[in-house]
Structure 1
Amino acid sequence: MKKLFYLTCLIILFASCEKEVDLDLDNKSGTLVIEGNITDQPGPYYVRLTRSVPFTSTNQYPPVTHAFITITDTQGQTDTLQHIGEGRYQTSNLHSVPGHTYNLLVKTADISYTAQSTMPTAVDLESLQQDPVKMGGDTTYNILPIFNDPASLGNRYFFVLTANGHTKKILQTISDNVNNGLVNQRSITTSREEDDKIKVGDRVNVEMQCVDERMYNYYTALIQITADRGPGGSVTPANPPSNINSGALGYFSAHTTRSSNIEIR
């Protein structure tokens, strides 16, 4: 099944992660796919509902347009989302707060799906540094995000790197199991493919999300899947460990977000 649930239709070039996650392979179609995000930035926030298609089909994901969706938090907030088209549902009055736990409820086709995510405390992304790598006489560039990991253990990060505004993205996860409480020293590993190398003159953007443990596991598994692409660039169908119950695919993430840019010189 095509389960690279877009992450807004991400085309992932290359990524590295820190641990392997066992994946359950299948090729079913018609399964509900939920993509939900709450950030520490002002809303509205969005949940997208589609149906999965067989792995051999084209990337046409049928939208689900008549669902009932609510988001609540541990402080008594409740928001009923409104459908705004193409399977996208929007909040109207939800305010996000780091440290709060958010609960998603989706009802469609007489089935209820629930998920929970806790928004971590934000960590500032201070800057980016270029990290040159020489290969066969050529130079490409990894990107080092500069941030101070908090002293408390258990911080987890998800990075999305884009270059020159391209829709192709590089993903990476980092946890503080190594380097806890220190300035980050781990670079985002970029593509070694000639057409996709980061080179002098490129404008690079990095988004850093602070995510909870289940979302960290989800993204780590997603990266693992895309790193194991088959012949011709095809991707093995697999189920990352979703935090949504009742058999739905996808994710529900409450996270903080910080971004920074750098021009390679």
Structure 2
Amino acid sequence: MKSRNNVYLLLLSLFSLTACTDVVDVDLEKSEPLLAVDGQITDQPGPYTVRLSTTASYFSNTTTPAVTNATVVIRDSEGVSETLKQTTPGVYVTSQLRGKVGHKYTLTVKADGQEYTAETEIRRVFPLDSIAAEFRKESLGQEEGYYLKIYGQEIAGKGDSYRWKVYRNDSLLSKPADLIFFDDLYIDGNYLNGIALGNGPFKKGDKIRVENLSLTDDAYQYIVEIFNNTAATGGLFSNPPANVRTNIRNVAPNGKKAVGWFNGSAVRRVEKTI
């Protein structure tokens, strides 16, 4: 369930998600390696990248192996397709394909005698107007430094979902607490007049970039599950993390499963040096 009071409590309420769960016994010592897919296409100029690897046992200290010599193809809803080129082990990139808002895309991966497919689309996204940096002195539970606020006009028409990525000096802030995502259920068509980001504090001279990415409904739920599995702190005796969803499926009904996600997003960004 989700509970949100108003736009200013947006981020807090988006993270107040709970669910009834069953305890599942998982053999962490031994697990069959599965194909792991990490791919994205946007409406920005390419190249776009699909990374392929295999999963490893939970207690393994080795790097997850890259999947080489695979055939990776992306096809759009207008019939345009491209076979990606492997540039480094497990990394496949496009050379000509260009993502467009409103188009749907299909990923096909042939590897290790198996064929997998995934579908996504690039939905609309609203532009960000500006970033404001507010200096705050040290107080109880808050470090001294600059904290960010974001401004932008959300597009009218319910059903949109977004993720915000925050970069400091060109490095993505990637801790669980930095994961910002929301839908437009209570903000549809409104102007976001100084939404406070939970990241920070920042310093004078920091170069800040915030990217607004559109999400499909399934991708939004995928991020919800990622957040719940990485940021939730249920205590010593809480249930173990559950497997998150994937849109990668084997074309054979009884074929080996895969994990990961193939995502499509429109991207709008704004920058500021504090």
TM over 0.5: yes
Cα deviation for residue 43 of structure 1 reads 1.6
Seq. identity, %: 28
Partner of 1:9: none
Among 227, 233, 257, which residue is 2:231 paired with? Answer: 227
Distance 1:103 1:36 in 2: 11
Cα deviation for residue 29 of structure 1 reads 5.0
**Alpha carbons of 1:203 and 1:39: their partners in 2 closer, same or farther (altered >3 Å)?**
same
Gaps of 5+ in 2: 1-10, 251-256
Cα deviation for residue 205 of structure 1 reads 2.2
Partner of 2:258: 248
Summarize deviations over 1:53-97 as a string: whole Å, max 9, x none: 222233612100011111111111111112111201112331211
Distance 2:66 2:267 in 1: 27
1:73 maps onto 2:82 in alignment: no
Distance 1:226 1:140 in 2: 26
The 4+ residue runs of structure 1 with deviation greater than 6 A are none
**Alpha carbons of 1:253 and 1:189: their partners in 2 closer, same or farther (altered >3 Å)?**
same
**Alpha carbons of 1:184 and 1:224: their partners in 2 closer, same or farther (altered >3 Å)?**
farther
Q: What are the equivalent positions in structure 2 for 1:67-146 lying under 5 Å apart?
A: 67-130=70-133, 135-136=139-140, 138=142, 139=144, 142-146=147-151
Q: Calculate the aligned-residue CA RMSD, in Å.
A: 2.8
From the CA coordinates, give the structure whose radius of gyration is larger.
Answer: 2
Which structure has the higher relative contact order (CA within 8 Å, separation 6+)?
A: 1
Distance 1:58 1:259 in 2: 37
**Alpha carbons of 1:184 and 1:58: their partners in 2 closer, same or farther (altered >3 Å)?**
farther
Partner of 2:4: none
TM-score, normalised via structure 2 length: 0.77
Q: Secondary structure at the match of 1:53?
A: coil
1:20 maps onto 2:24 in alignment: no
1:189 maps onto 2:186 in alignment: no
Check the 8 A contact 1:20/1:221 in 2, yes or no. Answer: no
Q: What are the equivalent positions in structure 2 for 1:173-212 lying under 5 Å apart?
A: 173-185=181-193, 186-190=195-199, 197-201=200-204, 202-212=206-216
Partner of 2:33: 30
1:161 maps onto 2:180 in alignment: no
**Alpha carbons of 1:163 and 1:102: their partners in 2 closer, same or farther (altered >3 Å)?**
same
Gaps of 5+ in 1: 1-14, 191-196
Check the 8 A contact 1:172/1:220 in 2, yes or no. Answer: no
Partner of 2:5: none
Q: Secondary structure at the match of 1:61?
A: coil
Partner of 2:43: 40
Cα deviation for residue 173 of structure 1 reads 0.4
TM-score, normalised via structure 1 length: 0.79
**Alpha carbons of 1:30 and 1:21: their partners in 2 closer, same or farther (altered >3 Å)?**
farther
Among 61, 66, 78, which residue is 1:63 paired with? Answer: 66
